[in-house]
Structure 1
Amino acid sequence: MAPTCPPRGVYAPVVAFFHEDETLDLGALQKHVIRLAQAGVSGLVIQGSNGEAPHLDHSERKQVISTALATLKQYGKREAVIIAGCGAQSTRETIQLCQEASESGAHFALVLSPSYWVGAMQQPTIQKFFSDVASVSPIPILLYNFPGVTSGIDLDSDLIAGLAAANPNKIVGCKLTCGNLGKLHRVAHDKRIQTPFAAFAGKSDFFLHGLVAGSNGLIGAAANLVPKVHVKLLKLYDEGNLNSAQELQTQLSEVDWVLVRMGVSGLKAAMDKYYKYGGGRSRRPLLPIQSSTFTGERDEILQKIVDLENSL
Structure 2
Amino acid sequence: MWSGIFPAVTTKFTADDQIDHAEMERCMALLIEAGCDGLIMAGSLGEGPMLSHDEKLAILKTAQGVAGGRPVLLTVNEAATRDAVSLARKAAAAGADGLMLVPSPIYHTDPEETVDTMRTVTSAGGLPVMIYSNRVAYRVDVTVPILEQLAKDDLFVAIKESSDDIRRTTDVINAFGDRFDVFTGVDNLACEALMMGAVGWVAGLVTAFPRETVAIYRLIQAGRHAEALEIYRWFRPLLDLDVSTYLVQNIKLAEVHAIGSNERVRMPRQPLRGERREMVERTIKDCLAKRPKLPEF
| TM-score normalised by the chain length of structure 1 | 0.86
Q: What does residue 18 of structure 1 align with?
A: 13
* Rounded Cα–Cα distance in structure 1 between residues aligned with 2:105 and 2:73: 22
Q: What does residue 222 of structure 1 align with?
A: 205
Which of 222, 227, 235 is equivalent to 1:244? 227
Aligned residue-pair number: 293
- Look up the equivalent residue of 2:96 and give its one-letter code: A
Which of 109, 133, 141 is equivalent to 1:154? 141
Q: What does residue 167 of structure 2 align with?
A: 182
CA contact (8 A) 1:188 1:198 kept: no
* Rounded Cα–Cα distance in structure 1 between residues aligned with 2:30 and 2:83: 32
Which of 300, 307, 310 is equivalent to 2:286? 300
Q: What does residue 199 of structure 1 align with?
A: 182
Q: CA deviation at 1:297?
A: 4.2
SS at match of 1:34: helix
Relative distance call for 1:31 and 1:126 in structure 2 (3 A) is same
Matched, 1:126 2:114: yes
* Rounded Cα–Cα distance in structure 1 between residues aligned with 2:148 and 2:167: 13
- Cα RMSD, aligned residues only: 2.4
Q: CA deviation at 1:101?
A: 1.5
CA contact (8 A) 2:98 2:128 kept: yes
The superposition leaves residues 241-271 of structure 1 with CA deviations (integer Å, 9 ceiling, x where unpaired) of: 2111221222232211135444202211221
Which of 260, 264, 283 is equivalent to 1:281? 264
Matched, 1:81 2:65: no
Structure 1 unaligned regions, length at least 5: none
* Rounded Cα–Cα distance in structure 1 between residues aligned with 2:30 and 2:105: 35
SS at match of 2:290: helix
Relative distance call for 1:181 and 1:259 in structure 2 (3 A) is closer
CA contact (8 A) 1:161 1:187 kept: no
* Rounded Cα–Cα distance in structure 2 between residues aligned with 1:218 and 1:111: 16
- Look up the equivalent residue of 1:296 and give its one-letter code: R
- Look up the equivalent residue of 2:156 and give its one-letter code: I
- Look up the equivalent residue of 1:159 and give its one-letter code: I
Of residues 200-209 and 251-260 in structure 1, the stretch that sits farther from structure 2 once superposed is 251-260
CA contact (8 A) 2:186 2:242 kept: no
SS at match of 1:179: coil
SS at match of 1:63: helix
Which of 248, 255, 261 is equivalent to 1:271? 255
CA contact (8 A) 1:229 1:308 kept: no
Q: CA deviation at 1:183?
A: 1.5
CA contact (8 A) 1:202 1:220 kept: yes
The superposition leaves residues 87-134 of structure 1 with CA deviations (integer Å, 9 ceiling, x where unpaired) of: 21222111211111222221110111214443xx21111111112222
CA contact (8 A) 1:206 1:253 kept: no
Structure 2 unaligned regions, length at least 5: none
SS at match of 2:120: helix
The superposition leaves residues 9-59 of structure 1 with CA deviations (integer Å, 9 ceiling, x where unpaired) of: 011000001112111111110001110010000000001110111111011
CA contact (8 A) 1:280 1:289 kept: no
Q: CA deviation at 1:223?
A: 1.3
Matched, 1:100 2:90: yes
- Look up the equivalent residue of 1:98 and give its one-letter code: A
Q: What does residue 60 of structure 1 align with?
A: 55
Q: What does residue 209 of structure 1 align with?
A: 192
SS at match of 2:219: helix
* Rounded Cα–Cα distance in structure 2 between residues aligned with 1:99 and 1:260: 31
- Look up the equivalent residue of 2:164 and give its one-letter code: G
Q: What does residue 163 of structure 1 align with?
A: 150
* Rounded Cα–Cα distance in structure 1 between residues aligned with 2:63 and 2:21: 9
CA contact (8 A) 1:10 1:231 kept: yes
SS at match of 1:189: helix
CA contact (8 A) 2:49 2:77 kept: no
* Rounded Cα–Cα distance in structure 2 between residues aligned with 1:70 and 1:115: 29
| TM-score normalised by the chain length of structure 2 | 0.90
Matched, 1:258 2:244: no
